[in-house]
Structure 1
Amino acid sequence: MHASYWARAPSALSHVTRIQRRYASARTPRAPSVRNRLRRPVLSPDFGSVPSPPLELFTSAIDKGPFKQGPNKLGWMEAIDIARKCIAAAQKSTETSSLNLERDIHADLHKICLVSQILGRSPRHSVVTEWIMPKLAHAGNMLAIVSLGYKALSSSTINGQPWLLQKIEILAREGKAWEPMVLHGSILEAKGELRSAANWYQKAIEITKPLDNEINYLSFFIPQGRFPLPLEAFANVQLKLDEIDKAEEAANLGALQYDSPRGYSLLLSALFKNESGWDHIEEYLTKCAMSHDVEACYRLGEIYRLWHLGLEKVEHAGFHGKFLSKKMLRGLLSVSSRYYSPTEYYSMAKEWLELAAAQGHPLASLQMAVLLRDENKAGEALHYRELAGRHPKYAAVATELQEAWEISDADITSIMRKAVEL
């Protein structure tokens, strides 16, 4: 910040020490003078306008767990120093210049990689991250390789980067870290080589510790919950192979070890396929729904609606939950809690269905429309019917539902059955 700022508002930042002020400087480097233009390299238009990183960008990130533990723990002053050197290296670079990261930035690759990710959180500094991450990957940094590999796999561009594929496979075969093993398995899985992928996931499981610090590092590089943990990846591929018992065992272990929504979601998939675990379905669905899993919100609402109806009404009117077999339906009815009345279950069902509908679930919108129509709330029912109709797959069903409402005492059972079968 400029000196005049400190003069205007000393009290607002009185807690910042003199050292912090020096590192918090956000002055943009001056443009090269005409006299020095021949001696200095011309700044790249992408990097020339990159300012010094602000203090707040680093203090907020350094407070995270990954930077406070292990041999490579990172302080905010060191992080800012590395960041400035990264920016300077980017500004001095040319298409023909070579860069030795550790020598030119005076830090190990792991710390440079962590700092580059912090810079990537700022729109004004992300261009430096994009420039330095491939160089870190070429230099052999594992986190950079995995991060770039995951992004390339997610965008279906991984096959166009043979050098990156080779780096990932080499790291996977070294067997020192689970991340490249899972990524290599994911690449094979995307190619349809499910058995080979399962073998790599199994190898990753064997070297994984439940509280491995690298899991924390990876969550900082890739949005939380998107990169599969070994047990989750193994469970998912076993579901695809129709090895349901193996999938359930792996998903159960993963859910217990990591308490992750994905683990519970995979465990639910296995339980629904195995038609078992009725007494845990509500618990696992709630964990997933609380993590903004839209499908879990819908299913939880439907199960509460099932418990509201009870066995007699379900058998009489029919229950249109495609995800529930008759065996599962009866099993769930047998474990419904007696602590809640049918009215309370109805309210709980509406709450979760409303939440799912608000997040764009068309079946939840249709069900909310039917429930509100039964309550003689025609205006609100129309709103949810229109929400469902915006989804191309359910537009015709929504129109059919509106036409049925215009007929007195029309039976909408067949319409809802058709909707869940789509």
Structure 2
Amino acid sequence: MAKRGAMPSPKVVRASKQAYNEAFIRMNQPQASIESSLPPQVMLNSAKKSGAIDLDVDRVYDFLRAYQLELKTKRASWERKLCEEHGVSLMTVTILAGILRRCQTPSQQMLAKNLMLSASSLGEKSATFELIQSAINTGNLNKYQEQLQRLGLLAKKDHDPEAMMLLGKVLLSQGQNKEALLWLQKSTQPPTGNLQINGAGDALVNEGRILLQLGQTKEAENAFKKAALELDEPSGYFYLSQLQKSGTPDQKVYLLKAASSGILEACHNLGALELEEIEKRDQKPTSLQDYGMAKEWFDVAAADGFGLSMLNLALMHKAVGHEAESLAWLKKAQNLPEVKEQAIELRQKWSKTISSLP
């Protein structure tokens, strides 16, 4: 009878199992990470149904899995070869990146960024535009030098109007206002540009803002009018309202247009106009109902975090004897840097008259 080997001690058995488990985790971790980076199937189905992409979900997943594996090896020209092998266009890569940007996990966000960088490096200008716009929004332009170079070529060599517009926004974010104005105007005015490009309304508003800073009020108003009246740009209506005489019908119409599109400062300004009318009356309000639409507009703006509206609501509540509500609005306002000092000053001023003030 063959001798059986000696049974390992329990300690050795436990150590062996632990080593096996660790090896198993290491072996499967990359694949687990790859799978967790994929977008939800429902989002891909929605994109296919809308016509944004023309690939089946399985083909998308195969491509994204292969992409992540290749990303680790980075063979020469691997990105272009991979797209060709899977029949995926650069626009589709950009759209997939956009879908992943709407996902929540860090791994999905990282995959979105890598896909967008790949599409940009292969010449997809919409990916370059997305990366630059995102960098402007987050203040990280210095991290995207290659994309900035591509943007410059698209604007200066290819005379692409959308690239011109974005270059203007880059320069504006860097404080180079006069040069920014030049490119913004090139993007929206013939013979180099037009008002049909994506973001033309925003370009006109930025143009108007720069012109205001330069003291060219009439030219600024013309830019805002184009943005608002020709392109229905909400911020165009808001800035146009700022150039109207206070309380005029035109100003109210422009503010209503801006407020209906969610511009909080427009909501606040409408409340301020209503409050001015109330304060002109001989009889002071004795209840919140007496403030009418002024309170309604301040409520809308304050609910979404507009500090000046919070201060006005605090003042209104105090005026009608609602001390607790008044203090509650002041407390909220103190959490906002832009009105913190004003809120503290009001609390100190009221400390002698409001008994419940800590």
TM-score by length of 2: 0.76
Shift of 1:304: 0.8
Corresponding residue of 1:84: 62
Corresponding residue of 1:28: none
Shift of 1:238: 1.6
Distance 1:239 1:400, change over 3 A: same
Higher relative helix content: 2
Q: Per-residue displacement from partner, 1:56-105 (whole Å, max 9, x unpaired)?
A: 112334566xxx5xxxx633x45763453133222233344231434233
Does residue 307 of the first structure (1) align with residue 293 of the second (2)?
no
Does residue 232 of the first structure (1) align with residue 211 of the second (2)?
no
Conserved 8 A contact 2:323-2:354 = no
The secondary structure found in structure 2 opposite 1:130 is helix
Residues of 2 paired with 1:43 and 1:92: CA distance? 16
Conserved 8 A contact 1:362-1:394 = no
User: Could you tell me which amino acid in structure 2 is paired with residue 260 of structure 1?
Assistant: E
Shift of 1:180: 1.6
Corresponding residue of 2:21: none
Corresponding residue of 2:98: 117
Q: Per-residue displacement from partner, 1:219-266 (whole Å, max 9, x unpaired)?
A: xxxxxxxx9732222122222322221111111111123323222223
Whichever of the two has the greater Rg, that structure is 2
What is the percent sequence identity of the aligned residues?
Answer: 23
Does residue 48 of the first structure (1) align with residue 21 of the second (2)?
no
Shift of 1:301: 0.7
The secondary structure found in structure 2 opposite 1:93 is helix
Which ranges in structure 1 are unaligned for 5 or more consecutive residues?
1-33, 219-226, 318-342, 408-422
User: Could you tell me which amino acid in structure 1 is paired with residue 93 of structure 2?
Assistant: I
Does residue 74 of the first structure (1) align with residue 53 of the second (2)?
yes
Residues of 1 paired with 2:196 and 2:58: CA distance? 29
Corresponding residue of 1:378: 323
The secondary structure found in structure 2 opposite 1:94 is helix
Distance 1:160 1:363, change over 3 A: closer
TM-score by length of 1: 0.65
Corresponding residue of 1:396: 344
Distance 1:287 1:55, change over 3 A: same
> Considering only aligned residues, what root-mean-square deviation do their CA atoms show, in Å?
3.4
Shift of 1:49: 3.0
Distance 1:313 1:120, change over 3 A: same
User: Could you tell me which amino acid in structure 1 is paired with residue 311 of structure 2?
Assistant: L
Shift of 1:168: 0.9
Q: Per-residue displacement from partner, 1:23-77 (whole Å, max 9, x unpaired)?
A: xxxxxxxxxxx9xx9xxxx98468533476543112334566xxx5xxxx633x4
Corresponding residue of 2:307: 362
1:90-169 matches, cutoff 5 A: 90-98=68-76, 99-101=78-80, 102-123=83-104, 125-169=108-152
1:275-354 matches, cutoff 5 A: 275=245, 278-310=248-280, 346-354=291-299
Residues of 2 paired with 1:277 and 1:173: CA distance? 45
Distance 1:199 1:52, change over 3 A: closer
User: Could you tell me which amino acid in structure 1 is paired with residue 353 of structure 2?
Assistant: W
| Bigger RCO (CA 8 Å, 6+ sep) | 1
How many equivalent residue pairs?
A: 318
User: Could you tell me which amino acid in structure 1 is paired with residue 59 of structure 2?
Assistant: D
Distance 1:183 1:46, change over 3 A: farther
Residues of 1 paired with 2:303 and 2:349: CA distance? 20
Moved more, 115-124 or 126-135: 115-124
The secondary structure found in structure 1 opposite 2:34 is coil
Corresponding residue of 1:14: none
The secondary structure found in structure 2 opposite 1:376 is coil
Residues of 2 paired with 1:384 and 1:348: CA distance? 18
Corresponding residue of 1:202: 185
Aligned counterpart for 2:234 among listed residues 261, 269, 276: 261
Shift of 1:146: 0.9
Distance 1:304 1:292, change over 3 A: same
Which ranges in structure 2 are unaligned for 5 or more consecutive residues?
1-23
Shift of 1:186: 1.6
The secondary structure found in structure 2 opposite 1:171 is helix
Does residue 57 of the first structure (1) align with residue 2 of the second (2)?
no
Conserved 8 A contact 2:274-2:294 = yes
Shift of 1:293: 2.4
Conserved 8 A contact 1:43-1:91 = no
Distance 1:122 1:288, change over 3 A: same
The secondary structure found in structure 2 opposite 1:192 is coil
Conserved 8 A contact 1:388-1:395 = yes
Q: Per-residue displacement from partner, 1:128-159 (whole Å, max 9, x unpaired)?
A: 22222111111111111111112222333223
Conserved 8 A contact 1:47-1:90 = no
1:179-258 matches, cutoff 5 A: 179-206=162-189, 210=195, 212=197, 215=198, 229-258=202-231
Conserved 8 A contact 1:50-1:87 = no
Conserved 8 A contact 2:164-2:186 = yes
